[in-house]
């Protein structure tokens, strides 16, 4: 929630910078997804987890699109968006058909890893030598992608029963990483926006 509020304020303060609204929207969807997970004992668990899974999937699509806009690339095309949405829905349907927490956990981790890797590629390929915040943010997303790819593979190949609510095992470590990553990514966004503004001050369009 704190990150979502920070990103919204960043967007409202600098509405002319492309992508900031997408960053804020993605974080809002992520916050609602966490609330849905927290309500799993109030509403049917399969419904709460499916809605959360869909919100997270949509959030990462919006996030990737926002980073593309920020670095000056074309928004995601409609065919690409449709493929991503259909793929995300397919994972959710398969999770409910199989009724497998292991599959849901593994597929969620794979999705987060895949889209994080795409964001990392956008930032690292676009960063110029003096754009330190963009480069650091890119590596932060790259590290997160690697961790979630490992998480996805570990769960998919393990015979142990996955209990996402257990305080033992990998789950609390991944949640701790996600908390630190979210705050770090938000700070990176603020610094990237600051870099963009400084660049415009150094090289104004009217000069």
Could you read off the pLDDT of 136-151 as tens digits, one per residue?
999 999 999 999 999 8
Provide CB contacts within 8 A for 57, sequence distance 6+: 84, 85, 88, 91, 92, 111
31, 38 contact by CB (below 8 A): no
Average pLDDT of the chain to the nearest whole number: 88
Per-residue pLDDT at 8: 95
Give the Å distances, CA to CA, from 68 to 32, 63, 64, 172: 24, 9, 6, 31
Q: Looking at the predicted structure, is the pLDDT value of residue 205 above 70? A: no
Percent of the chain with pLDDT over 90: 57
Measured CA to CA, the distance from residue 162 to residue 169 in angstroms comes to 10
Q: Which of 9-18, 119-128, 139-148, 166-175 has the lowest mean pLDDT?
A: 166-175
pLDDT tens digits, 188-201:
999 999 998 888 77
Is pLDDT of 207 > 60?
no
pLDDT at 169 over 90: no
Side-chain half-sphere of 192: how many Cα atoms within 13 Å? 27
pLDDT on residue 41 = 80
- At 206, list the tokens: 């009217």
Rounded average pLDDT over 149-163: 78
Q: How far apart are CA 143 and CA 149, in angstroms?
A: 10
Domain boundaries, the chain: 2-198
């Amino acid at each position: 929630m704190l990150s979502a509020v920070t990103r919204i304020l960043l967007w409202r303060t600098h509405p002319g910078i492309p992508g900031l609204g997408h960053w804020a929207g993605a974080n809002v969807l992520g916050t609602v997804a966490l609330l849905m997970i927290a309500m799993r004992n109030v509403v049917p668990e399969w419904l709460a987890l499916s809605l959360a899974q869909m919100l997270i999937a949509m959030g990462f699509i919006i996030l990737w699109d926002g980073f593309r806009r920020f670095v000056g690339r074309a928004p995601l095309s409609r065919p690409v968006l449709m493929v991503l949405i259909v793929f995300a829905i397919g994972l959710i349907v398969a999770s409910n058909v199989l009724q497998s927490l292991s599959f849901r956990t593994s597929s969620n981790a794979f999705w987060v890893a895949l889209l994080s890797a795409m964001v990392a590629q956008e930032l690292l390929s676009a960063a110029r030598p003096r754009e330190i915040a963009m480069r650091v943010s890119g590596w932060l997303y790259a590290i997160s992608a690697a961790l979630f790819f490992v998480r996805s593979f570990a769960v998919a190949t393990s015979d142990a029963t996955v209990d996402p609510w257990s305080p033992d095992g990998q789950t609390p470590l991944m949640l701790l990483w996600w908390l630190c990553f979210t705050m770090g990514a938000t700070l990176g966004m603020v610094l990237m926006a600051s870099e963009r503004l400084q660049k415009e001050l150094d090289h104004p369009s009217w000069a």
